[in-house]
Chain A
Amino acid sequence: MSGLPESFAIVTDGLSMRYGSETALDGVDLRVPEGAVYVLIGANGAGKSTAMKVLLNLVRPDAGRAEVFGLDTASQGPQVRAHVGYIPESHEQDYKWMTCGRLIRHVAVHYPAWDHEYAAHLIDIFDVRLQRKVATLSKGETRRLQFVLALAHRPPLLLLDEPADGLDPMVRNRALAQLAEHLADTPTTVVIATHHIAEVESLADHVGVLSAGRLVAQMSRDELRRTVLRYRLEVPEGWQPPPELRVTSMRRSRAGREVQWTLVGEPDDVTARLAAAGATVRDVTPLALEEAAMAFLAEEGAP
């Protein structure tokens, strides 16, 4: 809470990673507060999955370091993984020859904290059929199995990579409701990587925006709401914005003498700068989470 120094479940410093000529991560400094539901947004290929794999020491970054609960991921990978429930982006599940029931028992022994009663509840909620062979599962069925495996040991950290992918809308809603209930019962930090923010936005309290491997924004939902605003301005003919605002300006539309911009910054400061430059601020409106987050992505493609 405010006033107290924040402690972080995840800290990364300057994570960089290339696959051949492709930049997957470019100097990423993640700060995920303990207990947060942190939604990592970005297009496909923006680096979200790579970031999660670095946190689990499944891939090694070319530069930078990462800590999970103070554990160095590169040298303490197994300890880190013991603290994490992970849903990978891929629906490929190991041990394909096993039945779901056998796989669940197999995974359970690796986690001293495995909660058998809770696992049974999750199997029921996610409608996992224990006799089925893993190899025969559909995408959605695999996802549901992965939810059981990730939640049943009540890990302090959940890394969920496109968790709703492959789930039909009914099951998706049930899965996310189960996640909300899980959070009420178990103190957990959650990172959700998604390119579809609308699916999970009601759970989010922190947001990170990845674009081409760079973390272009990272803040709490409250801060996003407070500092990313739409300004409706009346401006004289041929008016040009002050250069220092051009940098933070992200989206604009024009209709006659009225322009509408989405700007980032302390509202008082932005308003003062606009006024000093000869614009009259007609209206300032907050944005819904998705719009505000998307504004950071729009910046990249803008001319």
Chain B
Amino acid sequence: MLVNLDPHDARPLYFQIMEEVRRAVVVGSLKAEDPLPSVRELAAELVVNPRTVSQAYQELEREGVIYVRRGQGTFVSPTVKRGAGERRSLAQAVAKRALLDARRNGVGAEELVTMIQKLAAREDV
């Protein structure tokens, strides 16, 4: 699993970790019953407070994305879905970020959508 954190992102770090795990599930790089790195491993890898990783894992467990097998570690839930709903919420998160960024730069929503469509129509993007 590849987790990337952006320290300049205003979203809390635990939330960024949650999003990364969700993203890995949606794109299929994490599948049902796949093991996740331990809190210790991921904390060292990302150089974050282990509590931050624990918090992310606890929230993901509550959402049913992952589960803990006592003494064995943390795994992706067997029932995890990669359906339309998950894709939609991923798309929503991306759109939200773009919208926020646009607003910060004084770009309106319509202007943003038009520009995205224009860029998407070009082949080199």
Write the residues of chain A forming the contact surface with B, with a CB cutoff of 8 angstroms.
35, 37, 173, 176-178, 180-181, 183-185, 198, 201-205, 221-222, 225, 232, 283, 285-290
Neighbouring B residues of A221 by C-beta, 8 Å:
12
B104 beta carbon closer than 8 Å to chain A: yes
Nearest chain B residue, comparing its CB with the CB of A230 = B104
User: Is the beta-carbon distance between A183 and B104 smaller than 8 angstroms?
Assistant: no
| Cβ-closest chain B residue relative to A179 | B47
Interface flag for B103 (CB, 8 Å): yes
Q: Is the CB of B46 within 8 A of A184?
A: no
Q: Which of A184, A205, A225, A285 contacts B43 (CB 8 A)?
A: A184
CA distance A221 to B49 in the complex (A): 12
Docked-complex contact B46 and A202, CB < 8 angstroms: yes
Once A204-B49, A285-B100 are accepted as A-B contacts, the answer to whether A181 and B7 lie under 8 Å apart by CB is: no
Q: Which residue of A lies closest to B6 (CB)?
A: A288
A180 — which chain B residues lie within 8 A by C-beta?
Answer: 43-44, 46-50
How many angstroms from the CA of A177 to the CA of B5 in the assembled complex? 14
Tell whether, in the assembled complex, residue B40 and residue A181 are in contact, meaning their CB atoms are under 8 Å apart.
Answer: yes
Cross-chain pair count, CB within 8 angstroms: 64
User: In the complex the two chains form, what is the Cα distance from A184 to B45 in whole Å?
Assistant: 12
Once the chains bind, are A205 and B51 in contact (CB under 8 Å)?
Answer: yes
A206 to B11, CA, bound (A): 16
User: How far does the alpha carbon of A225 sit from the alpha carbon of B13 in the complex, in Å?
Assistant: 11
Q: How large is the interface on B (under 10, 10 to 19, 20 to 34, 35 or more residues)?
A: 20 to 34
Q: Interface readout for B102-121 with A: 1 if CB under 8 Å, 0 if not? A: 01100000000000000000
Q: Does the CB pair A285–B104 fall under 8 Å?
A: yes
Q: List 20 A-B contacts (CB under 8 A).
A: A35-B51, A176-B47, A177-B45, A177-B47, A178-B44, A180-B48, A180-B49, A180-B50, A184-B50, A201-B7, A202-B7, A205-B51, A225-B12, A283-B103, A283-B104, A285-B104, A286-B11, A287-B10, A290-B7, A290-B8
By Cβ-Cβ distance, the 6 closest A-B pairs, closest first, are: A184-B40, A184-B50, A286-B10, A180-B43, A181-B44, A177-B44
How does the 8 Å CB contact mask read for B50-71 relative to A, with 1 for contact and 0 for none? 1110000000000000000000
Q: Which residue of chain A has its CB nearest to the CB of B46?
A: A202
CB-defined contacts of A222 to chain B, threshold 8 Å: 12
Write out the residue numbers on chain A whose beta carbons fall within 8 Å of the beta carbon of B52: 205
CB of B39 within 8 Å of the partner chain: yes
Q: Which residue of A lies closest to B40 (CB)?
A: A184
Is the Cβ of B40 less than 8 Å from the Cβ of A37? no
CA distance in complex: A285, B46 (Å)? 25
CB distance from B25 to the nearest CB of A (A): 23
Q: Check if A202 sits within 8 Å of B10, measured CB to CB.
A: no
Which residues from A are CB-within-8-Å of B44? 177-178, 180-181, 184
- Report yes or no: B10 in contact with A288, Cβ–Cβ below 8 A: yes
Q: For B8, what are the chain A residues with a Cβ–Cβ distance below 8 Å?
A: 288, 290
CB neighbours (8 Å) of B13 from chain A are 202
What residues on A are CB-neighbors of B43 within 8 Å? 180-181, 183-184
Q: Which chain B residues numbered 75 to 98 have a C-beta less than 8 Å away from chain A?
A: none
- Tell me, yes or no, whether B123 is within 8 Å of chain A by CB: no
Residue B124 lies at the interface, judged by CB distance under 8 Å to chain A:
no
Known contacts A180-B47, A184-B40, A204-B49; 12 additional CB pairs below 8 A are: A180-B50, A184-B39, A184-B43, A184-B50, A201-B7, A202-B7, A202-B46, A202-B48, A203-B48, A203-B49, A285-B104, A289-B7
